[in-house]
Structure 1
Amino acid sequence: MGELAHGEIFVVDDDPAIREMLSLVLGAAGYDVICFADGAALLSVARTRSPICMLLDVHIPGQSGIDILKELRAQDYPAPIFIISGSGDIAMAVDAIRSGALDFIEKPFRGSEIIERIEGAIGAFSRRRDAPPSKTQSMHFPGREPLTRREREVLELIAAGCSNKEAGRELGISPRMIEDHRANIMKKLSARNATELVRMVLDAART
């Protein structure tokens, strides 16, 4: 294919039509696309070779997308992972986010939407990876359920006064996913509203 313009993207989907469509759309945008029809084929490659982004269907033969995320240790995987889900799979997609996926893309989707979401995620992932550790990452909230790394990133942006849209742009995820993270953070920390949440962050910063 010659020199790559943007890097490799892994696509994992058992539907050949989806694989072909994503290969064409992403290839036209300058990415080198490597497709897998099942999780076992992906895992044999992904453990030793990291793409710049991964698109993973929640329903694939053998291991589910959730199982794959857990095996990849998705919270620490060196590339953003999107879950591809049908409209009836929202609960599974949310479970995937908790297992380390960055966000989910719902079928049917437009090629232009995929490119926009991927480019935003890759840029945000790179910025966050290269940024110095934040104060929020080391904060502890005694007696509360621990936050995931992504929840801490969202909390940091909420505390800085970012809107859902601004926080989503910074992290490369959709505003509605920011809202889901915000709701989960408030539940874990027993905060009744955003003001109380910010106050808890300020109190934790002083300790």
Structure 2
Amino acid sequence: MKRSILFDTETTGLDPQTGDRVIEIAALELIGDLPSGRNFHVLIDPERDVPEEASRVHGFTRADLEGKPKFAEIAAQFLEFIGDDALIAHNAAFDFGFLNAELKRAGLPELSMDRMVDTLQIARARFPGMPNSLDALCRRFSIDLSARTTHNALLDCKLLAEVYIELSGGRQRGLGLSVEEGGTPTATYGYVRPAGHVTVRVTPGPAELAAHEKFVEGLTEPLWLA
């Protein structure tokens, strides 16, 4: 099943080319576009001051980051976690720019832009002319924002994961088909809802079974009847 990584960064400012640095990285593993439960999260010593205007955004001060590892010390662990899979972020070019600047500074290969999946661009294509910030999308999809008082990277990842599910076509996890004891066929739908994963079993009636048989008769050598 497809694996991808949804991630976010917090920084000391807006431009890595003028000396701004990454101070926080959070990443969630997605399997089939849904969170697997595995994540990577680290605070980083930026080796410089944290401007007050940046602290107002993400809530971290220089004192909060003293004694934390430097980027070069966590780079290998981060690269191992993300592997070679697609990298999803909101306004992804911003995060890619910062991470590539840090990787270059550490003497490591930069992330290929071919791996980038930008949820902001997806949202703009789906909702042209409308606000498409993370906050705006959460409100549009009725996702709880009550814990988001600052731009914490791990929380933002968890919110973006819910947004990404909606942008990818809704909260249906998938469809499974099975035959229970006694030969009764069932369809199993898995949904992700705010309260968690919910499985709904549906047993087709005589009319649905007859329609299915008629459909199968029209197929050429269906594999499941071989």
TM-score computed with the length of structure 2 as normaliser: 0.27
TM-score normalised by L of structure 1:
0.28
Query: Relative CO higher for 1 or 2, CA cutoff 8 Å, sep ≥ 6?
Result: 2
Between structure 1 and structure 2, the one with the greater Rg is 2
Q: Which has more helix, going by share of residues?
A: 1
